[in-house]
C-alpha cells in the first residue's frame, strides 16, 4: 500500500513537535532529571484522588499516583494501558489480519481518540485535498458532509437501501474511472469511501457480510481507503455480530472509528481509532498540534472501569444496552403501526437508535414537521441526511433512544394528526 496516496500536502509535511518528543522521553524514563520539559509542578495541581460511584452500587477509586499521572501531559496516542486494552478487544472481536500478523506491512495499530467525531475531523483534514472526489453513502450521517464540504472536495453519493450501501451502486459511481487511474497521481479518481455500516444513521440499516465483502473487493480494485465509522457496532439486534470491514482488511485499507459514547458515556469523549500504522502516526501528529491528547482524567476513569470489567463484562454490558434498544425499537414499531399504518412506510432497524420513515403521500416533509413541532413532537427532516439538502424529501428520522413508550405514542399521534390535516387540505 502506498499510504502517501491517502495524505494531503499538509499531512505529508507534518512532523512531530520536538517538545512533545521531549515529554515522551521523560515518560519513558521517569527517573530522569529533566530541566527541558514544561510540565507543571505537581504541587500546583489541586486534585489528589477521586472516588466515583457506579450505577450498580460499586465504586471506582483513582488513587493519588494515577490521579497525578492523569493530571499531567501524556502520550498523544493515549495511555499505553488503555491502548492495549482496546487493542486486545479489537483482536478478540475483529482479529484484523494486519494486527494478528506482526510482519504485515500495514502494522495495524490502535490510538485513543477524543470521540470518533473529532477523529473523523482530524482524519479528513489529513487525507482530503481541495478538488478530491469522496464517495459517501446516501443518505448519510450529516456531520462528515459538513466537515468535508468546506475542504473543497466533491461528495459522490452512493445510494443505500434497507441493507445499507449497495455495491452495484458503488461500482456504478466508480465506472467513470478505470482501476488503473489509481496509479496516476494526477487522476481525480476517489481515494476515500465513507460509511456507517451498522445501525446506520439515519436509516437503522446494516451492511450484510456479503455486501461488505463485495465493497471491500471494489476498494481493492480501485485502491480506496474505507472510512468505517461504526458507533453502533455493539448495538446490533441479531447475533452473531456481523463481521466488520476491519476483520476483512488483508491490505491495510480500513480506518475504523469506535466510540464509547453508546456503551459508556458520550460525555467522557473517549473512543479508539484502528488502522494502518503509517496513517495513524500522521493522525497522532494532528493530535499533537491540536488537543495534545485525550483528557487525562477521562482516560484514567475509563481505564479504571474497563480494568474492573474486563473484556467479558464490557461485552456483556454492550449486549444489555443492545437489548435495551431492541425493546425500544419494538415499542417504537408498535406505535408506528398504531398511528401511521397506511400513511407511512418504514423498515425495522437492524440496530442502533433510529427509524427511517417515508411519507409517500407528500413530496416534502418540511411543512409536516413544522406542524408536528407545534403539537409538541420533534422529528428530523430527511433532507439533512442527503447529499442535496435543498431537494424536496419524503423522509423523516425518528430516534427512540431517549423517549418513553408514552412519549412515543404521543409523538406519533401528533405526526399522524399533522399529516391527516395536510392531506385533508389537498382534497
The pLDDT score that the predictor gives to residue 150 is 93
The pLDDT score that the predictor gives to residue 30 is 73
The separation between CA 51 and the C-alpha centre of its own chain, rounded to angstroms, equals 30
State the DSSP string of 101-116: -TT-TT--EEEEES-H
Cell of 26: 521523560
Q: What is the DSSP code (8-state) at residue 235?
A: G
The pLDDT score that the predictor gives to residue 426 is 78
What φ, ψ does residue 355 adopt, rounded to 5°? -110, 140
The pLDDT score that the predictor gives to residue 27 is 67
The pLDDT score that the predictor gives to residue 102 is 76
- How far is it between the farthest Cα atoms of the chain? 84
331-364 in b/e form (b: 16+ CB < 10 A) is bbbebbeebbeebbebbebbbbbbbbbebeebeb
Alpha-carbon gap, residue 167 to 220, rounded angstroms: 13
CA dihedral 154, 289, 252, 2 (to 10 degrees): 70
Which pLDDT tens digits describe the chain residue by residue (427 residues)? Answer: 899 999 999 999 988 877 666 766 766 777 888 777 778 888 899 999 999 999 999 999 999 999 999 999 889 999 999 999 999 999 999 999 988 777 887 889 999 999 999 999 999 999 999 999 999 999 989 888 899 999 999 999 999 988 899 999 999 999 999 999 999 999 999 999 999 999 888 999 999 999 999 999 999 999 999 999 999 999 999 999 999 999 999 999 999 999 999 999 999 999 999 999 999 999 999 999 999 999 999 999 999 999 999 999 999 999 999 999 999 999 999 999 999 999 999 999 999 999 999 999 999 999 999 999 999 999 999 999 998 888 999 999 999 999 999 999 999 999 999 999 999 987 6
**Four-residue CA torsion sign, 385, 390, 392, 396:** positive
Which residue from 246, 152, 237, 247 is spatially nearest to 200, judged by alpha carbons? 237
Residue 147 to residues 292, 345, 386, Cα–Cα distance (Å): 21, 31, 15
Residue 253 to residues 27, 133, 137, 151, 221, Cα–Cα distance (Å): 32, 17, 18, 22, 12
The answer to whether the CB of 251 falls within 8 A of the CB of 101 is: no
The pLDDT score that the predictor gives to residue 20 is 63
Give the chain's domains with CATH numbers.
Answer: 3-312 (3.40.640.10), 328-426 (3.90.1150.10)
Residue 95 CB neighbour total at 10 angstroms: 12
Q: Where are the alpha helices (DSSP H) in 341-400?
A: 366-373
Residue 233 to residues 93, 109, 201, 350, Cα–Cα distance (Å): 11, 19, 12, 11
Alpha-carbon gap, residue 112 to 131, rounded angstroms: 30
Cell of 354: 433510529
Reported as type and span, the H/E element at residue 325 is helix 296-340
The answer to whether the CB of 221 falls within 8 A of the CB of 215 is: no
Amino acid at each position: 500500500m502506498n499510504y502517501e496516496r491517502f495524505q494531503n500536502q499538509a499531512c505529508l509535511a507534518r512532523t512531530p513537535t520536538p517538545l512533545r518528543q521531549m515529554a515522551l522521553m521523560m515518560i519513558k524514563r521517569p527517573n530522569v532529571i529533566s530541566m527541558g520539559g514544561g510540565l507543571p509542578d505537581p504541587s500546583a495541581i489541586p486534585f489528589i484522588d477521586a472516588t466515583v460511584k457506579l450505577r450498580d452500587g460499586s465504586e471506582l477509586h483513582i488513587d493519588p499516583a494515577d490521579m497525578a499521572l492523569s493530571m499531567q501531559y501524556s502520550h498523544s496516542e493515549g495511555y499505553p494501558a488503555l491502548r492495549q486494552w482496546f487493542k486486545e478487544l479489537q483482536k478478540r472481536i475483529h482479529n484484523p489480519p494486519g494486527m494478528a500478523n506482526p510482519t504485515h506491512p500495514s502494522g495495524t495499530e490502535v490510538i485513543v481518540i477524543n470521540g470518533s467525531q473529532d477523529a473523523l475531523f482530524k482524519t479528513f483534514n489529513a487525507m482530503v485535498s481541495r478538488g478530491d472526489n469522496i464517495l459517501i453513502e446516501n443518505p448519510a450521517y450529516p456531520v462528515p458532509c459538513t466537515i468535508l464540504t468546506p475542504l473543497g472536495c466533491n461528495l459522490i453519493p452512493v445510494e443505500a437501501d434497507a441493507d445499507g450501501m449497495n455495491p452495484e451502486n458503488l461500482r456504478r459511481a466508480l465506472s467513470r474511472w478505470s482501476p488503473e487511474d489509481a496509479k496516476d497521481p494526477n487522476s481525480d479518481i476517489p481515494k476515500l469511501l465513507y460509511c456507517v455500516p451498522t445501525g446506520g444513521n439515519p436509516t437503522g440499516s446494516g451492511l450484510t457480510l456479503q455486501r461488505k465483502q463485495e465493497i471491500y473487493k471494489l476498494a481493492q480494485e480501485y485502491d480506496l481507503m474505507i472510512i468505517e465509522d461504526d458507533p453502533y457496532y455493539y448495538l446490533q439486534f441479531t447475533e452473531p455480530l456481523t463481521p466488520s470491514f476491519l476483520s476483512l482488511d488483508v491490505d491495510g485499507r480500513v480506518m475504523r472509528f469506535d466510540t464509547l459514547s453508546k456503551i459508556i458515556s458520550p460525555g467522557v469523549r473517549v473512543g479508539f481509532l484502528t488502522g494502518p500504522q503509517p496513517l495513524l502516526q500522521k493522525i497522532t501528529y494532528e493530535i499533537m498540534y491540536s488537543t495534545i491528547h485525550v483528557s487525562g482524567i477521562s482516560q484514567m476513569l475509563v481505564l479504571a472501569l474497563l480494568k474492573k470489567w474486563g473484556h467479558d463484562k464490557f461485552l456483556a454490558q454492550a449486549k444489555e444496552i443492545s437489548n435495551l434498544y431492541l425493546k425500544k425499537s419494538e415499542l417504537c414499531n408498535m406505535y408506528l403501526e398504531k398511528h401511521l399504518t397506511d400513511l407511512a412506510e418504514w423498515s425495522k432497524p437492524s440496530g442502533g437508535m433510529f427509524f427511517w420513515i417515508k411519507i409517500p403521500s407528500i413530496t416534502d416533509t418540511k411543512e409536516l414537521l413544522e406542524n408536528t413541532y407545534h403539537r409538541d413532537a420533534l422529528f428530523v427532516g430527511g433532507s439533512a441526511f442527503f447529499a442535496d439538502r435543498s431537494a424536496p424529501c419524503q423522509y423523516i428520522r425518528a430516534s427512540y433512544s431517549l423517549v418513553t413508550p408514552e412519549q412515543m405514542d404521543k409523538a406519533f399521534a401528533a405526526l399522524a394528526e399533522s399529516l391527516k390535516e395536510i392531506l385533508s387540505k389537498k382534497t
